[in-house]
Amino acid sequence: MTSFKQPELIITGLGVTSAIGQGKMEFISALLEGHHVFDVMKRPGRQKGTAFLGAEIPSLFLPEQLSKRLLRTASLSGQVALLTLQEAWNEANLDNVDPRRIGLVVGGSNFQQRELLQTYESYRDQLDFIRPTYSLAFMDSDICGLCTEQFGIGGLAYTIGGASASGQVAIIQAIQEVLSGRVDVCIAMGALMDLSYMELQALQSLGAMGSIRYANDPASACRPFDVGRDGFIYGESCGVIVIEKAETALTRQVNPYAILSGWSLVMDGNRNPDPSYEGEVCVIQEALKQAKMSPSDIDYINPHGTGSGIGDEIELRALYDCQLPHAYLNATKSITGHGLSSAGAVEIITTILQMRESRLHPTRNLEEPIHSSFNWVRNQSVPHVINNAINLSIGFGGINTAICLQRI
């Protein structure tokens, strides 16, 4: 009996927009320098007698190729989605792929909350004047509509929610769409989660989001894995990844970034935000097994690493017990902030760009790690050739994901 051999899956295009940079070049440069823009947030709808900290995109430079008609009525999440997809689309040379063989999976749900709240506040006393396009914009599927119209995508498109793991859930689902043969190329997007003061207040009250302790020192507020952490700090971002089989990419002039060697999604059976040691151990072990790797093969870890009081502890315990403390480890959110629905995609992009640069970005504010036994990248970037990496992304509701990447 012959065993089934899974086709090699590769990443052929990347797009990223974040508070620290628009496009891959700006983004990786800022990461390696440890450059941040944490401050009291100023975007309308983010504060109501409050002073929530975060990292906001300073301005958008929208390319001429994007439809001005679509942009005019698109939300911030929609505009950033179009901009970020444009970068990945061009790099993967997708104009030369049959549009009916291209799919799109958008990771995230309820990600336009700030603009929806603003609409409510603007029109609650003049309901008859509400703009008709609101009937489209309030749905998550509007991001799919904007992207499929702009780029002519004719295969499949849908959104998929996974809380803070949405970006990696979208990647795993895009992988399945390619393996199933429904499409030849599938785009995974971690959409920009546009929070309003309502969500920010609730997350802070829950104890998930900081930072009361560093309210007067925004630069010090985001500190994953540090003894002084007090919760995640929000950061606007969007990430796009193009996935296909190696054999289909050969027909176009594209330079693949990395091999998707293993992945896993495990549920805890828990509605609450509590992380699960057992779930994280299981998802790491399953991803390694599928990648046919042992823990010793992994030389870099990009963790979930939010700055959560409980979450950071449990994640490190899971990594330690999975025999991974030898691998280099840094925390991307210490520089970008936590993009929630976008985080998993942005951090996969971070791993791939570090792989290409053979250099690892620093972890800001890691003054006293909660566990000293790990191979931390602290306040300076370090040279390192990544051969095999694992990315973890965890979400409320008991969602655990892991993806293994291999150098080409």
What integer pLDDT is reported at residue 1 of this predicted model? 40
pLDDT tens per residue, range 23-81: 999 999 999 999 999 999 999 999 999 999 999 999 999 999 999 999 999 999 999 99
- Which of 193, 228, 249 terminates a domain? The answer is 249
Do residues 164 and 207 both lie within one domain? yes
| Of 151 and 253, the one with more pLDDT | 151
Question: Alpha helices, DSSP H only, in 310-394?
Answer: 311-321, 333-336, 343-357
Residue 211, preceding peptide bond in cis (omega within 30° of 0) = yes
CB-based burial label for 296 (10 Å; 0-12, 13-18, 19+): exposed
Query: Are 263 and 208 in the same domain?
Result: no
| 229 and 201 within one domain | yes
**pLDDT of 136:** 85
DSSP letter (8 states) at residue 102: E
Distance of alpha carbon 327 from alpha carbon 390, whole angstroms: 10
Last residue of a domain, one of 190, 214, 249: 249
Q: What is the DSSP letter of 66?
A: S
Same domain flag for 221 and 306: no
Q: Is residue 2 part of a domain?
A: no
Q: Are residues 296 and 381 in the same domain?
A: yes
Full domain range(s) for residue 282? 259-407
- As for how many domains the chain has, the answer is 2
Mean pLDDT within 286-306: 98
Name the region of 93 (left: φ>0; alpha: ψ -120 to 50; beta: rest). Answer: left
Name the pLDDT band for 284 (thresholds 50, 70, 90).
Answer: very high
Identify the domain boundary among 207, 231, 249. 249
Residue 251 pLDDT class (50, 70, 90 cuts) = confident
What are 129-159's pLDDT values in tens digits? 998 888 888 899 999 999 999 999 999 999 9
Q: Both 236 and 263 in a single domain?
A: no
pTM: 0.97
Q: What are the start-end ranges of the H helices in 139-256?
A: 141-151, 166-180, 197-206, 246-249
* CATH code of residue 350: 3.40.47.10
**352 and 266 assigned to the same domain:** yes
Residue 242 identity (one-letter amino acid) = V
For residue 4, being part of any structural domain is answered with no
pLDDT at residue 3 greater than cutoff 50: no
Query: Is the pLDDT score of 5 beyond 60?
Result: yes
254 within a domain of the structure (yes/no): no
Question: Taking Cα atoms as reference points, which of 385, 328, 391 lies closest to residue 359?
Answer: 385
Residues 226 and 324 in one domain: no
Confidence of residue 253 (pLDDT cuts 50, 70, 90): confident
Measured distance between the N- and C-terminal CA atoms of the chain, rounded to whole angstroms: 30
Q: What is the mean predicted confidence (pLDDT) over 256-283? A: 95
Encode pLDDT of 192-242 as tens digits: 999 999 999 999 999 999 988 999 999 999 999 999 999 999 999 999 999
Residue 282 has pLDDT above 50, yes or no: yes
Alpha helices in 159-275 (DSSP H): 166-180, 197-206, 246-249
Q: From 298, 275, 274, select the one nearest 285 (Cα to Cα).
A: 298
Nearby residues of 254 by Cβ (< 8 Å), 6 or more positions away = 12, 13, 91, 92, 93
pLDDT (mean) for 355-367: 98
42 located within any domain: yes
If asked whether residues 237 and 263 sit together in one domain, one would say: no
The C-alpha atoms of residue 347 and residue 16 are separated, in whole angstroms, by 10
Report pLDDT for 133: 84
**Could you tell me if residue 320 is inside a domain?**
yes
Residue 194 lies in a domain: yes
* Neighbouring residues of 315: CB distance < 8 A, sequence distance ≥ 6: 275, 280, 303, 304, 305, 392, 394
The reply to whether 181 and 75 lie within a common domain is yes
Q: What is the pLDDT of residue 250?
A: 86
Closest by CA to 220, choosing from 367, 83, 57, is: 367
Mean pLDDT over the full length of the chain: 96
Can you tell me the distance from the alpha carbon of 399 to that of 168, in angstroms, rounded to the nearest whole number?
Answer: 11
pLDDT band at residue 2 under the 50/70/90 scheme: very low
Is 99 domain-assigned? yes
| Helix and strand numbers, DSSP H then E, in the chain | 13, 17
Which of 320, 46, 68, 336 lies closest to 194, judged by CA?
A: 46
Q: Are residues 314 and 228 in the same domain?
A: no
Residue 3 lies in a domain: no
Q: Both 204 and 338 in a single domain?
A: no
Q: Are 336 and 38 in contact (CB under 8 A)?
A: no
